[in-house]
Amino acid sequence: MSAISLLWSTSRALAADHAHAQMLAALALYGPDGAVAEGDEHIALGVNVFSSLPENKFDRQPLWSPNRSCCLIADVRLDNRDDLARGLNLAHPEELADSAFLLHAWERWGVACLDHLIGGFAFAVWTPGKNEVFAARDHAGERPLFYHRSADFFALASMYKGLLALPISRDLRESKAADWIGCLAPDWSTTFYKEIHRLPPGHFLRVTPGSLSVTRYWSPARAKPIRFRKDAEYAEALLEIFDRATQARLRSTYPIGSMLSAGLDSSSVTASAARLLASEGKRLTSFTSVPRPDFAAAVPPGFFPMEAEGAAAVASLYPNIDHVLLDSRGYPLMETLRRWIDAVDEPIGAPVNLLWLTAMFDQAKQRDIRVVLEGTQGNVTFSYNTWTPLSDLLRRGRWIQLARLISAVCRRGALARSSAVRLTLQPFFPGWLRRMRVPKSSRECLRECLVNPALKKQYNLDERVFNTFHPAGRNAMEEHLALFEGFDHGAFRAGLEAANGIEVRDPTADKRLYEFSFAIPPEQFLAEGHNRSLARRAMKDRLPQSVLSNYMRGLQGADWHAIMSQALPELREELASMRHSPAAKETLDLNAIEALLDTWRQSSFDADDAYPGWHFWFRLSISMGYFLRTHDPAVACEAVK
């Protein structure tokens, strides 16, 4: 994952080439293999290079078309090079970088090239004849892209640092911070910075001297419906797409690793990668995080803390897997959190998980691994977990089919009959009844969100948080689309790579998988009475029964209490620093955070009322607090004085 940047000066107040040099320098963290640029006082474009693909040695960006009609910069990994090579009639495609494929596609199809691309990309095209900048992000948001527009210039960059190097305001958007702490559905077009915008996944923008427009060009909900005669055909089709997605992400100049839990997604990614690598005589190193040795606490219902045994069962099926267990000992919480946030320039939602992730990446680098596979988006695609088909069948009048499905679900033990009936009827409940059915303890837990009370009231946060965690009834497509639109991992991935020198790739985020999972009947995800049924059926010959029949979820960072207890002195110091930041004081309920620290539990921390406050809301507030105080323009101005 490289970093691209562009600066288009529309006045004499700013020389583009000089200011763009500052952008390149700021983005060096994201492109350790060198920087290239071209431009003048009017417009400048450049790339900070991270080389992980074999064809990167042919890359010569910025790329001009042969007739000099347009210039392209790109952070790109194309997963359908063979199809593109045929469609574009390319000679010797093996000697072309992915950026060259992209330029050929742009010259042939223009904006419609986006319909032909599969992979992770963020790119920009400067067309002097039209006096226009065009930029686009990939379908699932694998690559980030941010931009700023003022009276004097337009600028875009892969990461915030490129834009923050320019003379723009660093004022923060308090409403965005409040929404983030409350886990509210994000508006991906905005950022925490008032003058910086994010190009959302599946969107492109056009900029001319007098206009700027952003257009959505893709959504998985637009996928053409797919219907087969037999359930088995859906599983077979899924597996074929899944293997193609995994194969595409094995293209690397370095050895490959994978994250391996005892869950369906990472186990399936690991199994597919191991099979494909074995056919080439290659090995796969799989990493499994386990709690620290002194861990001895209970976990919330429906979760299990120890994934080593299930992961080992997967690894044992494939002789070319080297299985590595690791924990987070030796990695301090606040030091690790600071390093990651400083790389991303956004708060990070799961600070405890950063410790074992860092340990994993350190282990990978020791083995010369620079590419690690994961299955994060499997919850949206490959192993989508949903009960909405029950209410959808009722809504559509398919009562016999509904009765059979409920019977199968209950027979398999996935749900009690009372729960199945409740989930079938729940989307039809009015708001007042929905609220009444939520236990009082759960309602109170949601009110523990550690936002400044005045800000809570201003943005009606308590009500909006409740509606987020207990949404009104939605049909299957609406729920699926809401889950898809809740994620944009681009900036986090770029920061991860910068902080650790590792590129993470996710086969379950493949465009083809998104479209397939949205195109098939939603009942396929519950077929035969299993939740996540499609993935279980597809992987029946590739995973051990212990994984296929497991209905519980592994709890990442299960040893959170030991980690945070060890970090209490640093957490108190961090809180003291937050009190010197106007942005932190205006956004967070610092007194409530202090009360949690003062009443930190040394026992019974696994009780039902301990996890939400001391772990869930507390971790979000600490992450946000560090971000706010280190990016607060008022603090920066005071430091300059």
In this structure, of 17-21, 30-34, 429-433, 541-545, the range with the lowest mean pLDDT score is: 429-433
Q: What is the mean pLDDT of residues 252-263?
A: 94
pLDDT at 441: 66
Identify whether 582 is preceded by a cis peptide bond (ω within 30 of 0). Answer: no
Q: What is the mean pLDDT of residues 439-448?
A: 72
Asked if residue 612 has pLDDT above 90, the reply is no
Q: What is the mean pLDDT of residues 589-596?
A: 93
Average pLDDT taken over every residue of the chain: 91
The answer to whether residue 559 sits within a structural domain is no
Per-residue pLDDT tens over the stretch 175-216: 999 999 988 888 999 999 999 999 999 999 999 999 999 999
Percentage of residues in the chain having pLDDT higher than 90: 73
Burial class (CB in 10 A: 0-12, 13-18, 19+), 48: buried
The answer to whether residue 497 sits within a structural domain is yes
* Residue among 210, 146, 189, 247 nearest 505 (CA): 247
> Structural domain tally of the chain?
2
The answer to whether residue 412 sits within a structural domain is no
- Give residue 525's identity as a one-letter amino acid code: F
- Give residue 631's identity as a one-letter amino acid code: H
The answer to whether residue 270 sits within a structural domain is yes
Report the 10 Å Cβ neighbour count for 206: 16
Report the 10 Å Cβ neighbour count for 9: 23
The answer to whether residue 188 sits within a structural domain is yes
Asked if residue 605 has pLDDT above 80, the reply is no
Q: What is the mean pLDDT of residues 410-428?
A: 85
Domain ranges, residue 491: 231-334+348-383+486-553
* Residue among 318, 328, 309, 374 nearest 504 (CA): 374
Q: Do 143 and 285 sit in the same domain of this protein?
A: no
How would you classify residue 110: left for phi > 0, otherwise alpha for psi between -120 and 50, otherwise beta? left
Q: Do 189 and 300 sit in the same domain of this protein?
A: no
Asked if residue 596 has pLDDT above 50, the reply is yes
State the pLDDT confidence band at 155, using cuts at 50, 70 and 90.
Answer: very high
Asked if residue 423 has pLDDT above 90, the reply is no
Looking at 218, 251, 279, the residue that finishes a domain is: 218
Burial 307-321 (b: 16+ CB within 10 A, else e): bbebbbbbbeebebb
Q: Do 114 and 203 sit in the same domain of this protein?
A: yes
Q: Do 68 and 206 sit in the same domain of this protein?
A: yes
Rounded (5°) CA angle 516-522-525 = 85
Q: Do 243 and 201 sit in the same domain of this protein?
A: no
Find the helix or strand (DSSP H, E) in which 325 lies. strand 321-326
CATH number at residue 77: 3.60.20.10
pLDDT at 641: 38
Asked if residue 435 has pLDDT above 80, the reply is no
The answer to whether residue 548 sits within a structural domain is yes
Burial class (CB in 10 A: 0-12, 13-18, 19+), 559: buried
The answer to whether residue 30 sits within a structural domain is yes
Distances (CA, A) of 422 to 417, 427, 434, 469, 534: 9, 9, 11, 17, 23
Looking at 518, 536, 553, the residue that finishes a domain is: 553
The answer to whether residue 209 sits within a structural domain is yes
Distances (CA, A) of 111 to 63, 103, 157, 193, 601: 17, 11, 20, 29, 57
Q: Do 287 and 325 sit in the same domain of this protein?
A: yes
Per-residue pLDDT tens over the stretch 24-64: 999 999 999 899 999 999 999 999 998 889 898 999 999 99
Q: Do 251 and 173 sit in the same domain of this protein?
A: no
Helix (H, G, I), strand (E, B) or coil at 231: helix
Q: What is the mean pLDDT of residues 514-536?
A: 93
State the pLDDT confidence band at 294, using cuts at 50, 70 and 90.
Answer: confident
Asked if residue 262 has pLDDT above 60, the reply is yes
* Residue 463: φ, ψ to 5°: -65, -40
Q: Do 367 and 317 sit in the same domain of this protein?
A: yes
Q: What is the mean pLDDT of residues 409-436?
A: 83
Q: Do 186 and 285 sit in the same domain of this protein?
A: no
Q: Do 158 and 204 sit in the same domain of this protein?
A: yes
State the pLDDT confidence band at 298, using cuts at 50, 70 and 90.
Answer: low
Per-residue pLDDT tens over the stretch 359-417: 999 999 999 999 999 999 999 999 999 989 999 999 989 999 999 999 988 888 778 88
pLDDT at 639: 45
Find the helix or strand (DSSP H, E) in which 347 lies. none
Q: Do 208 and 243 sit in the same domain of this protein?
A: no
Find the helix or strand (DSSP H, E) in which 568 lies. helix 568-578
Q: What is the mean pLDDT of residues 287-314?
A: 83
Per-residue pLDDT tens over the stretch 191-200: 999 999 999 9
Q: Do 74 and 174 sit in the same domain of this protein?
A: yes
* Residue 561: φ, ψ to 5°: -65, -45
In this structure, of 212-216, 307-311, 316-320, the range with the lowest mean pLDDT score is: 307-311
Per-residue pLDDT tens over the stretch 110-133: 999 999 999 999 999 999 999 999
Looking at 218, 253, 276, the residue that finishes a domain is: 218
pTM listed for this prediction: 0.94
pLDDT at 635: 79
State the pLDDT confidence band at 80, using cuts at 50, 70 and 90.
Answer: very high
Residue whose pair of structure tokens reads 């898809």 in the numeric block: 484
Contact criterion met (CB below 8 Å) for 41 and 17: yes
CATH number at residue 322: 3.40.50.620
* Strand 43-48, strand 35-39: pairing: antiparallel
State the pLDDT confidence band at 640, using cuts at 50, 70 and 90.
Answer: very low
State the pLDDT confidence band at 315, using cuts at 50, 70 and 90.
Answer: very high
